[in-house]
Amino acid sequence: MDTPILDRLIEELKVMPEDLQYRVLEFARTLVGLQIHGVPGKELLNFAETIFPANVDLSQAIPIISGVNLSGHHKYLLSCRDLHSLNLSRANLSGLYMNDVNLSGANLNESNLSNTRLSHANLKGASLIGVNLTKASLGGANLRNADLSYSIMTNTNLVGAFYNSETIFPNGSDLSKAIYLESGANLSNIFFTKINLSRVNLSNTNLSNSILKYIDLSYANLSNANLTNANLEGAILDGANLEGAIFSTTIMPDGSVRNN
């Protein structure tokens, strides 16, 4: 793309609503050799792997690194971002709105996530050892294979958060409103939408009367699963194992109804 076109996009960026501007500024991570005019350095997130042109003033840029203190910054600063596999250990992220953020495989050990909103966040395989999750909201978050040992989970919201046998919680955790996502589980009447469950093992699972719209089930194991009256509209089933699955008035991804 030509520089004049990008300059025009930047001008449009500056008049966007503040929360949207923070999200769109993610494009700066891939800019190389571009003249950036009029975008304050404090608006930019400086990731360890970010490559900026030499003339960009990063003196006020926000480093996304271990030990960073982002509490008090714009609350949508990290919302919807892809932060997978980053090292954010000992970071202060208290009070931020990090809904829908991708933190899969990230290192969050000993970080402060108190009062942080992580609804529908992807924390699959993340390390959250010794994290302060006091009054944090993890509703609908993906906690499969996550390690939360020794974390402080006082008044932590886990409604609809899903986990598996590999998830490690601190002793005494209240999982009564979380969802156990594993082979043979009873997930009838469950409501899932727009989440990534690729490669999950749901063999022999009861998914009858469930809403599974627009979820990614690519390469998932659904063998012998009960999908009676399930709604899979818009779901991704590429490579999924459906051998022996029960289909009865099941709405398929294309909207058709399947009966075995």
Its domain, for residue 40, covers 3-64
Task: Give the chain's domain count.
Answer: 3
Do residues 53 and 85 both lie within one domain? no
Do residues 52 and 113 both lie within one domain? no
Do residues 49 and 129 both lie within one domain? no
Average pLDDT over residues 37-42: 46
Do residues 124 and 165 both lie within one domain? yes
Cα(89)–Cα(96) distance, integer angstroms: 16
What stretch of H or E contains 224? none
Pick the last residue of a domain from 181, 216, 246. 181
Cα(83)–Cα(260) distance, integer angstroms: 42
Q: Which residue did the predictor score with more confidence, 150 or 36?
A: 150
CATH number of the domain that 243 lies in?
2.160.20.80
| pLDDT tens digits, one per residue of 137-174 | 999 999 999 999 999 999 999 999 999 999 999 999 99
Pick the last residue of a domain from 32, 64, 96. 64
Q: Which of 2, 25, 5 is nearest to 13 (CA)?
A: 25
Pick the last residue of a domain from 64, 83, 100. 64
Do residues 27 and 72 both lie within one domain? no
Average pLDDT over residues 96-107: 94
| pLDDT tens digits, one per residue of 199-242 | 999 999 999 999 999 999 999 999 999 999 999 999 999 999 99
The secondary structure of the chain in percent helix, strand, coil, rounded to multiples of 5, reads: 10, 20, 70
Do residues 177 and 229 both lie within one domain? no
Mean pLDDT of the chain: 85
Do residues 76 and 174 both lie within one domain? yes
Do residues 108 and 119 both lie within one domain? yes
Do residues 30 and 94 both lie within one domain? no
| pLDDT tens digits, one per residue of 47-59 | 655 666 667 676 6
Do residues 79 and 163 both lie within one domain? yes
Q: Which of 84, 167, 71 is nearest to 122 (CA)?
A: 84
Average pLDDT over residues 128-134: 98
Do residues 132 and 177 both lie within one domain? yes
Predicted TM-score of the model (pTM)? 0.75
Count other Cβ atoms within 10 Å, centred on residue 234.
16
Give residue 34's pLDDT band: very low, low, confident or very high (50, 70, 90).
very low
Q: Which of 145, 175, 176, 181 is nearest to 162 (CA)?
A: 181
Do residues 71 and 163 both lie within one domain? yes
